[in-house]
């Protein structure tokens, strides 16, 4: 229905004027619809060539929001068909290229606007331009890809995206993957078969390796996929790249366990759930085993070579920190951990290179937490750079009453000058 | 009916070429903004005369653009899962962030600075920056995860010393207006921290991009955005003390982001209101700035005996009995100086 509305707005019947068709499609507030007034150009009355019209309607599919919506550049198709409909003589002048340009622009922009609301099967999946950010499944269903542009409020004082922003994107793609695959049960953490049994996924561990931080206005492309983790767990990996240059921004891996919502006890994976998600298991690893071990090594102890300890007490969740279950969102913990990780003088010169998080217990609105950090001086950094002055920290976020919420280990490297996408 | 800006009539086809030139020009200005670096993908459209019109990928991905007359700017956003709060709908902080984002993008697209201050050339020469004075947001229907919100924004003069920025938020799927907002800004000298009149030079630079006839998001008389917020002296009924800025609350200029204050105001609202009501309106008067080391107290006072509903405009909450109204004060824990004053109006959730 939406599609035909577009078609009628743009291809008014012969003899009708743009104003007439505009009046008929005015919306509730009495404004002319955007597609007419904003663009200002309407192909003058003339029925479109059959090929164009068929094209517009072919894209009308019932679903508006949610499943498998994505966009592609329609350049090749548009340019093929439109020239056939080069305006002939409905202007009192010879057809000239600016008219053609106008027609093409109008059609494209209008169609684009409608396509954002419709299902759209990609013809060239690898060249998808995910204009609205719904994301799409690629590689025969094994990987989900979504793009994000870094917004002004997502950056820190140094104009690059904060680690929380990046982790928020990871969380969003994970959910969109599940939703697009049709596996979203109740709430955010379960498949339909899991919801039936009151089971939810709970994150137990996350590891990330950051290679560079994107800046304001840049676009990142996030790929995510799932795999098995042992017999009853699930692993979800992400690979984030700069959209233009393809350079890696970060790699991450996470392990999830299944828990009963009411009893909060761990559960085995039922066969029905395995049947649901098994087909999506993709053996790829964003972070290799050796890298993973290196990140997590030297274990949990706050060692004797510790140089400095910091503590911050009285941390409380704000309303905005809570998810739909009134638990603190995973990503917020990172903010608390980093609040107190090192003196400002150190942080200003360093950036987070890697982080390993072990989630132990959840906390809610009434929790009061404290964050402890032990900074343990220099170490050989991971990755390709051999920088002498890297810093390693061990973190513990716990309730003031004692229980551990999150244990983390971070590695920091001196800040590098940010290279923009074009220079990469 | 809300009277909004009436768009210009469709131009006759002859002018089409000229209009496109304008779009090309605007795209070029966007491209010039330093943050849009990297490859500019060729757009869908190529002029036959060998001229390549470029829409940068960033521009298209952002889906934001100046409207044809150049006087306002529109952009759409999907609500992401982490922007959704305990009610399964976007939080008011998310909405405020998006308003800020679209305001920023508008300023950029008309050539203001990209350093976070959104200043014109003259302003930078004179060391002047914009400072928010008041922010007023009304939300009639909160969007949920996956909804697409279209926000239109524009700015215009406001008296002799200030400017105002207005927003209208619509649900892109059905065109319904889901919120409105307005804000007042004044110019301040960055160094002396004193307010300054908008000089003619600056006025010319800024307001060329603004509607010449006043266009208000809240055109109705005596609307909520104009109501004064009194000084609060009585003891507060509810409070939350000892709030501390987090690193994530600091903006590019190391001051606490405007949106953080909204979160702080909400901190001292009692739990039973949060559980049973939804924030419909928030008005904040900004008085002082706050930095990383400050400690803040949030105080809430019940506002009684006021005219609770707006004057029958289509966007008011239905019955005063289902509304709750509060006044707020954010102040420094140490010396008690006022940081912000606010008012919130809550409507009962239909649970």
Q: Which band of pLDDT confidence, cut at 50, 70 and 90, is reported for residue A82?
A: very low
- Residues of B within 8 A of A129 (CB-CB) are 57, 60-61
Mean predicted confidence (pLDDT) in A340-365:
80
B42 vs A218: CA distance, rounded Å: 18
B86 and A188 in contact by Cβ < 8 A? no
A157 and B101 in contact by Cβ < 8 A? no
Model pLDDT, residue A363: 84
pLDDT, tens digit, for every residue of B306-349?
444 445 444 444 446 688 999 999 999 989 899 999 999 999 98
* Candidates A21, A153, A351, A365, partner chain B, best to mutate (most B CBs within 10 A): A153
B269 vs B303: CA distance, rounded Å: 13
State how far residue A407 is from chain B, nearest Cα, in angstroms.
Answer: 20
Q: Are residues B293 and B333 in contact, defined by beta-carbon separation less than 8 angstroms?
A: no
Extended beta strands in chain B, E state: 65-66, 73-78, 128-139, 148-158, 162-171, 177-189, 195-196, 238-243, 277-286, 296-302, 323-332, 338-348
Q: A3 pLDDT exceeds 60?
A: no
Is residue B64 classed exposed, middle or buried when 0-12, 13-18 and 19+ CB atoms within 10 A define those classes? buried
Q: H or E segment at A176?
A: helix A163-180
Torsion of CA A152, A155, A159, A161, to 10 degrees: -120
Residue that wins the pLDDT comparison between B58 and A9: B58
- Residues of A within 8 A of B282 (CB-CB) are none
- State the pairing for strand pair A308-315/A369-375: antiparallel
Question: Around Cβ B91, how many Cβ atoms within 10 Å?
Answer: 23
Do A279 and A352 reside in the same domain of the chain? no
pLDDT, tens digit, for every residue of A93-119?
555 677 777 667 667 666 665 555 444
Q: A399 pLDDT exceeds 60?
A: yes
Nearest to B36 among A155, A217, A339 (CB): A217
Does residue A89 fall inside a structural domain?
Answer: no
A67 vs B349: CA distance, rounded Å: 29
The domain B59-222 is classified under which CATH number: 3.40.718.10, 3.10.129.10, 1.10.10.10, 3.90.1170.10? 3.10.129.10
CA angle A231, A237, A239 (to 5 degrees): 165
Q: A90 pLDDT exceeds 70?
A: no
Q: Are residues A266 and A302 in contact, defined by beta-carbon separation less than 8 angstroms?
A: no
Torsion of CA A27, A30, A35, A40, to 10 degrees: 170
Tokens of B336: 């008690």
Mean predicted confidence (pLDDT) in A347-362:
87
Q: What is the mean pLDDT of chain B?
A: 75
Do A336 and A387 reside in the same domain of the chain? yes
How big is chain B by its Cα radius of gyration, in Å? 21
Model pLDDT, residue B114: 60
pLDDT, tens digit, for every residue of B50-69?
333 334 444 444 567 887 77
Do A369 and A255 reside in the same domain of the chain? no
Mean predicted confidence (pLDDT) in A136-149:
86
- Residues of B within 8 A of A322 (CB-CB) are 85-86
Chains A–B, number of C-beta pairs less than 8 Å apart: 210
Residue range(s) occupied by CATH 3.10.129.10 in chain B: 59-222, 227-305+319-350
pTM over 0.90: no
Residue that wins the pLDDT comparison between A290 and A235: A235
Tokens of B27: 């795209």
Nearest to A39 among B68, B78, B252 (CB): B68
User: Tokens 């929380």, residue?
Assistant: A164
Domain B227-305+319-350 sits in CATH 3.10.129.10: yes
Domain C-terminal end among A254, A287, A320: A287
- Residues of A within 8 A of B30 (CB-CB) are none
Do A274 and A349 reside in the same domain of the chain? no
State how far residue A290 is from chain B, nearest Cα, in angstroms.
Answer: 32
Residue that wins the pLDDT comparison between A326 and B303: B303
B290 part of the active site: yes
Alpha helices in A320-395 (DSSP H): 330-339, 344-349
Residue that wins the pLDDT comparison between B317 and A193: A193
3-state secondary structure of B32: helix
Model pLDDT, residue B29: 34
Say what the ipTM of the complex is. 0.72
Do A300 and A283 reside in the same domain of the chain? no
Does residue A316 fall inside a structural domain?
Answer: yes
Top mean pLDDT of A74-83, A167-176, B204-213 is at: A167-176
Q: B262 pLDDT exceeds 50?
A: yes
- Would an 8 Å CB–CB cutoff place A419 in contact with chain B? no
Q: Which band of pLDDT confidence, cut at 50, 70 and 90, is reported for residue B149?
A: very high
- Would an 8 Å CB–CB cutoff place A172 in contact with chain B? yes
Q: A313 pLDDT exceeds 90?
A: no
Q: A53 pLDDT exceeds 70?
A: no
Domain range for A401 is 295-415
pLDDT, tens digit, for every residue of A159-192?
889 898 999 999 999 988 888 888 887 766 788 8
Q: Are residues A359 and A406 in contact, defined by beta-carbon separation less than 8 angstroms?
A: yes
Q: What is the mean pLDDT of chain A?
A: 70
B266 and A318 in contact by Cβ < 8 A? yes
- Would an 8 Å CB–CB cutoff place A300 in contact with chain B? no
Do A186 and A283 reside in the same domain of the chain? yes
Model pLDDT, residue A226: 92
B263 vs B260: CA distance, rounded Å: 5
B146 and A66 in contact by Cβ < 8 A? yes
Domain C-terminal end among A287, A318, A342: A287
Measured over the CA atoms of residue A63, residue A64, residue A65 and residue A67, the dihedral's sign is positive
Q: A12 pLDDT exceeds 50?
A: no
Please list the residues that pair with B156 across neighbouring strands.
B164
- Residues of A within 8 A of B78 (CB-CB) are 132-134
CATH number where A342 lies = 3.10.129.10
Please list the residues that pair with B285 across neighbouring strands.
B134, B341
| Count of structural domains within chain A | 2
The residues of A that are catalytic are 325, 327, 363
Q: Which band of pLDDT confidence, cut at 50, 70 and 90, is reported for residue A276?
A: confident
Count of residues for chain A?
424
Do A245 and A328 reside in the same domain of the chain? no
A156 and B247 in contact by Cβ < 8 A? yes
A162 and B78 in contact by Cβ < 8 A? no
Q: A31 pLDDT exceeds 60?
A: no
Do A199 and A331 reside in the same domain of the chain? no
């Amino acid at each position: 229905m939406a599609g035909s509305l577009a078609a009628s707005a743009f291809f008014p019947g012969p003899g009708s004027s743009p104003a007439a068709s505009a009046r008929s499609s005015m919306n509730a507030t009495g404004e002319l619809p955007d597609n007419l007034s904003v663009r200002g150009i309407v192909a003058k009355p003339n029925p479109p060539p059959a090929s164009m019209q068929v094209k517009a309607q072919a894209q009308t599919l019932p679903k508006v929001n949610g499943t498998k919506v994505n966009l592609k550049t329609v350049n090749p198709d548009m340019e093929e068909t439109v020239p056939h409909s080069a305006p002939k003589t409905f202007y009192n002048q010879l057809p000239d290229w600016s008219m053609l340009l106008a027609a093409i622009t109008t059609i494209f922009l209008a169609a684009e606007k409608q396509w954002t609301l419709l299902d759209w099967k990609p013809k060239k999946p690898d060249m998808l331009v995910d204009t609205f950010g719904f994301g799409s499944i690629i590689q025969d269903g094994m990987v989900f890809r979504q793009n994000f542009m870094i917004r002004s409020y997502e950056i820190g004082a140094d104009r690059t995206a904060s680690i929380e922003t990046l982790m928020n994107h990871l969380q969003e793609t994970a959910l969109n993957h599940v939703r697009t695959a049709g596996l979203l049960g109740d709430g955010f953490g379960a498949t339909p078969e899991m919801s039936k049994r009151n089971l939810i996924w709970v994150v137990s561990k996350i590891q990330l390796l950051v290679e560079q931080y994107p800046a304001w206005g840049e676009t990142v492309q996030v790929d995510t996929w799932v795999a098995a983790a042992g017999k009853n767990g699930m692993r979800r990996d992400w690979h984030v790249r700069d959209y233009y240059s393809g350079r890696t921004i970060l790699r991450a891996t996470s392990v999830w366990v299944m828990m009963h919502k009411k009893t909060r006890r761990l559960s085995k994976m039922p066969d029905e759930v395995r049947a649901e998600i098994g087909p999506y298991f993709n053996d790829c690893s964003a972070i290799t085993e050796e890298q993973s071990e290196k990140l997590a090594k030297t274990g949990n102890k706050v060692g004797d070579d510790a140089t400095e300890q910091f503590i911050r007490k009285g941390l409380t969740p704000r309303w905005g920190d809570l998810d739909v279950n009134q638990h603190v969102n995973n990503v917020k913990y990172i903010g608390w951990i980093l609040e107190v990780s090192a003196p400002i003088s150190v942080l200003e010169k360093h950036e987070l290179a890697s982080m390993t998080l072990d989630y132990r217990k959840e906390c809610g609105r009434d929790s009061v937490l404290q964050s402890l950090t032990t900074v343990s001086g220099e170490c050989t950094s991971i990755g390709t750079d051999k920088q002498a002055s890297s810093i390693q920290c061990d973190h513990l976020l716990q309730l003031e009453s004692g229980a551990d919420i999150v244990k983390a280990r971070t590695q920091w490297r001196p800040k590098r000058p940010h290279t923009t996408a074009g220079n990469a | 009916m809300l009277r909004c800006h009436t768009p210009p009539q469709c131009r006759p086809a002859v002018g089409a070429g000229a209009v496109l030139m304008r779009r090309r020009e605007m795209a070029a200005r966007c491209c010039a903004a330093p943050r849009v670096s990297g490859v500019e993908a060729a757009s869908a459209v190529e002029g036959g005369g060998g001229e390549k019109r470029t829409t940068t990928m960033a521009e298209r991905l952002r889906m934001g653009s100046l409207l044809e007359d150049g006087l306002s700017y529109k952009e759409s956003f999907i609500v992401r899962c982490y922007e959704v709060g305990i009610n399964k709908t976007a939080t008011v902080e998310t909405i405020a962030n998006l308003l800020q984002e679209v305001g920023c993008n508008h300023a950029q697209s008309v050539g203001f600075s990209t350093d976070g201050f959104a200043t014109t050339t003259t302003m930078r020469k004179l060391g002047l920056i914009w400072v928010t004075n008041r922010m007023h947001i009304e939300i009639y229907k909160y969007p949920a995860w996956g909804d697409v919100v279209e926000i239109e924004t524009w700015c215009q003069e406001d008296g002799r010393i200030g400017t105002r920025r207005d927003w209208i938020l619509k649900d892109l799927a059905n065109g319904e207006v889901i919120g409105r907002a307005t804000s007042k800004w004044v110019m301040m000298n960055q160094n002396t921290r004193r307010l300054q009149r908008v000089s003619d030079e600056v006025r010319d630079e800024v307001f060329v991009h603004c509607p010449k006839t006043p266009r208000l998001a809240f055109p109705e008389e005596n609307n909520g955005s104009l109501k004064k917020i009194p000084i609060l002296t009585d003891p507060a009924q509810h409070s939350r003390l000892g709030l501390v800025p987090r690193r994530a609350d600091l903006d590019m200029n190391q001051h606490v982001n405007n949106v953080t204050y909204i979160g702080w105001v909400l901190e001292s609202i009692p739990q039973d209101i949060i559980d049973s009501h939804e924030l419909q309106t928030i008005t904040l008067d900004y008085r002082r700035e706050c930095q990383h080391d400050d400690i803040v107290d949030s105080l809430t006072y019940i506002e009684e005996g006021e005219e609770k509903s707006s004057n029958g405009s289509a966007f008011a909450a239905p019955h005063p009995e289902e509304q709750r109204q509060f006044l707020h004060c954010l102040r420094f824990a140490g010396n008690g100086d006022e940081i912000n004053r606010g008012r919130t109006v809550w409507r009962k959730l239909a649970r």
